[in-house]
Amino acid sequence: MRNPNKKIEMSRRGFLARSACASMGVGGVVNTLAHMRLMEGALANTVTSIGDYKAAIVLFHFGATDGNNMLMPGSGHPARSNYEQHRGVLALPLSSPGGTNDPHAIVADNLAADSAAAAGAENFALHPELGDLKTMFDDGELAFAANVGTLVVPTTAATYNSVPLPPQLFSHSDQQNQWQSSIPDKPFQSGWSGRIADLLNPAWNIPDGKISMSVSLSGINDNQVSLLGDVSQYSVTNNGAISLNGYGTNYANALTDASNPTSYIRNANGRRLKAFQDIMNYTHDHLFEENYNVVVRRARENEGFIGNAFSAANSWLHPSAVDNNGNPWGFIEGTFILQNGINPASGTALNNLPSLSRQLISIAKMIAGRNSLGNSRQLFFCSYGGHDTHQDQGGFSNGAGYVAGDLDDNMATLNNALKAFNDVMKALAAEPTLGGDFNYNDFILASHSDFNRTFTPNGSNPGSSGSDHAWGTNVYMMGGDVRGKNVYGYYPNLNPTGNWTTPGSSRGRWVPTSAVEQFSAPIAKWLGIADTEIGTIFPNLERFADPFTAGYDPTNFNSILSNANMDWIAGI
Amino acid sequence: MDSGPPSAGTLPTSAPRPPTPNLPPETRGVIRSEFFGVEPLALDLNIPVFKQQEDGRVLKTDVAEQLDGLNDPEREPVEDIQLLTSAVASYRQIFRENPIAGENREVVEALTGNNPYQMMFIDPSHPAINSNNELMDRWKVPYQFHPVSRDQMEIRSAGVDRQFGTADDIMIEEPVQFGNFENFEDNGQ
């Protein structure tokens, strides 16, 4: 019998570990996450410098991209005949008379090597405007995941009417929200990136300093909403940190040195800024007033950190791109400008870049200037809108030639942005000063989309027709640690009335064969979430097959839900 | 006719669940917001605005009578969109969310009884409903229902030219640009 008077020695580490485990049994996700966060922080000691840097980027295609024409069956693929039969005016022929606007053939190594795969299952094609993505795919830097979507439980067409489904399927904002939370069956509380930040921030990032682990280039988003409230999103614009209004660009009208917040110019603006900052340094008894000042002070501090990161990145000059004043562009901007086919010597070169390229430029600069930001684990969120192509989706040919549709334009924008970003990441890894210990495999970019679009078009006019709201879609992932040149998950047979689509509809709305959490969990693990903690980040994951199991039978429809084949990141 | 809104929510009586109407089993609706603890409005289906049908469905007469004027050539076309928007709003008032629908047909199914109360907001034999169970505009083109969120449904008519995406399209709400942050810097948010 235990002596009740005997003192039980327990280390702080042991106490935290036990309390975390206990919370798994009795508490909710919040409690569990709070305990795990505490334990992670305690075990990691106080972080004083950054190292083993990793950045994860979520790129959300708002409005829902037509995944059916982003990644399509290629020559000999068993679904190609259904594609040509049912895609109607949106179908993209594999070859055209001039051959100038053809899809790009790609071969998925994982399917080619799988003896169980159907003949030709490895043959896909990318949208004609994704030529650079084909190169990246072939080089093993890019992969796709097929038919991913929001799910509450494993679902098939046969069980569609008997299992719980994600609320408000086909509704933009609800599905955007559910992709970002990956908990579709609960009222929204947090995003999956936010929960990762809750857990990893204290263990990997310098405490109470520098910028947030969660940085958004797209305003406030759901994906980075913290469950514990400890890691606030920090919004950065395409030009860097958001400054206080009224003091000129980068405080040029109020400060002699933007990086020194007290280098006031002796003018009205300088005095006004000094007065404002002095007021913000007061302490208040009222919590709201005090917290308002804290937010403003933190924003001003973050401006400095972001400014330093951008300054460091801007010192890296492009070898050939020269602006309208004869000065070399920064390497990052120059790469994006040239990739987008814009004359770097035009006075509006930067402003003529699409928003997506501008966002990725800012992200690239923060990665290049990471030593100013204090985070070894960094999460970025960016977005690309304008994909809701109910009309004018596809291009068509008339007497004067090919007229691009909205999807053509979107894919061209995407192609240029991803190619330039990928080039910058590779160049950064080789750059002697900024590169430092940065490696090409220190970033991963993964796409999200509200949902896929209907496989059948909503009209018969090649110019004006489009597609409507559907469900499971094809997404992509890019980076050095991505097991590229593969297509993960299960590509539908593209029969719009078959057993891959929602019952009652003949539009081709694929029931997802992989859940968002199966697709996203590898990112969490890559960032450092332990196997035992994955379920805290993705509480519904246990309902689905282990995403890290590589083997599967792509010809056995009934096996689909028992094996996700989503092990798309190497080394985890 | 009783055109007033149902005094729902103030009455303790829960609606009875009549027998399932003759809808294909694969299309029977479910309120998926059950996860959120959102129940349909409690209704007294005995008040005059609700009219029991022989097949078990319940006709919401105020909305259905308004929709009798749908596609009336004496009205302006935009009024048709207003009537449909009002009907969807009535559905939403009772079921706390829009019909779960990506297609015109699914909206019609929800408005003709494919819902937990098997409530009809429009007569299934309405001349605006075609043989594919789609609501058509006065030019015989199915309306486009665009689910923006659980409480916003854009409705569009292709207009006289019968082509969507052209200048004569008719709708009463501005299309929403999702994730379009082009003005992000301009407005400094």
Q: Do B179 and A245 touch (CB under 8 A)?
A: no
A511 to chain B, any CB pair closer than 8 A? The answer is: no
ipTM: 0.84
How many structural domains does chain B have?
Answer: 1
A408 to chain B, any CB pair closer than 8 A? The answer is: no
Q: A571: which DSSP letter?
A: T
Residue B92 in domain: yes
Residue of B nearest to A152 (CA): B35
Which backbone phi and psi does A61 adopt, to 5 degrees?
A: -85, 90
Q: Do A383 and B147 touch (CB under 8 A)?
A: no
**Rounded Cα–Cα distance for residues A39 and B167 (Å):** 60
Q: Do A172 and B148 touch (CB under 8 A)?
A: yes
Q: Do B27 and A450 touch (CB under 8 A)?
A: no
Q: Please report, as a single letter, which amino acid is at residue B58.
A: V
**Rounded Cα–Cα distance for residues A152 and A540 (Å):** 7
Most confident of A111-125, A259-273, B139-153, B166-180: B139-153
Which backbone phi and psi does A297 adopt, to 5 degrees?
A: -60, -40
User: Cα separations (Å) of A140 from A215, A422, A476, A481, A490?
Assistant: 28, 12, 13, 9, 20
A388 to chain B, any CB pair closer than 8 A? The answer is: yes
User: Cα separations (Å) of A181 from A176, A451, A474, A548?
Assistant: 9, 14, 18, 20
Q: Counting Cβ atoms within 10 Å, is residue A308 exposed (0-12), middle (13-18) or buried (19+)?
A: middle
Residues of A in Cβ contact (< 8 Å) with B132: none
Residue B70 in domain: yes
Q: Name the residue range of residue B83's domain.
A: 50-162
Per 3-state DSSP, what percentage of chain B is helix, strand, and coil (rounded to 5)?
25, 15, 60
**Rounded Cα–Cα distance for residues A309 and A290 (Å):** 29
Residue of B nearest to A164 (CA): B32
What is the gyration radius of the CA atoms in chain A, in angstroms? 25
Q: Do B178 and A185 touch (CB under 8 A)?
A: no
**Rounded Cα–Cα distance for residues A242 and B182 (Å):** 15
Inter-helix orientation angle A355-368/A406-430, to 10°:
10
Quick one: which H or E segment has residue A522?
helix A516-527
Q: How many CB pairs under 8 A join A and B?
A: 138
Q: Which two tokens stand for residue A110?
A: 């994982």
Per the document, the length of chain B is: 189
Residue B140 in domain: yes
Interface of A with B in 194-233 (CB under 8 A): 218-219
Question: Where do the structural domains in chain A lie, given as residue ranges?
Answer: 46-54+65-242+282-562
Query: Which segments within A16-155 are labelled E, that is strand?
Result: 54-61, 71-73, 104-107, 123-126, 142-149
| pLDDT values of chain A reduced to their tens digit, one per residue, 572 residues | 334 344 434 444 444 444 444 444 334 667 777 776 666 655 555 677 778 999 999 999 999 999 999 999 999 999 999 999 999 999 999 998 777 789 999 999 999 988 878 899 999 999 999 999 999 999 999 999 999 999 998 888 989 988 889 999 999 999 999 999 999 999 999 999 999 999 999 888 987 668 899 999 999 999 999 999 889 899 998 888 888 888 987 788 999 987 788 899 999 999 999 999 899 888 888 888 888 888 888 888 888 889 899 999 999 999 999 999 999 999 999 999 999 999 999 999 999 999 999 999 999 999 999 999 989 999 999 999 999 999 999 988 877 778 899 999 999 999 999 999 999 999 999 999 999 999 999 999 999 999 999 999 998 888 889 999 999 999 999 999 999 999 998 899 999 998 899 998 999 999 998 999 999 999 999 999 999 999 999 999 988 888 876 555 545 555 555 555 788 999 88
Which residue, among B32, B154, B187, would best test binding to A if mutated, counting the most A CBs under 10 Å from its CB?
B32
Note the helical H segments in A448-515. none
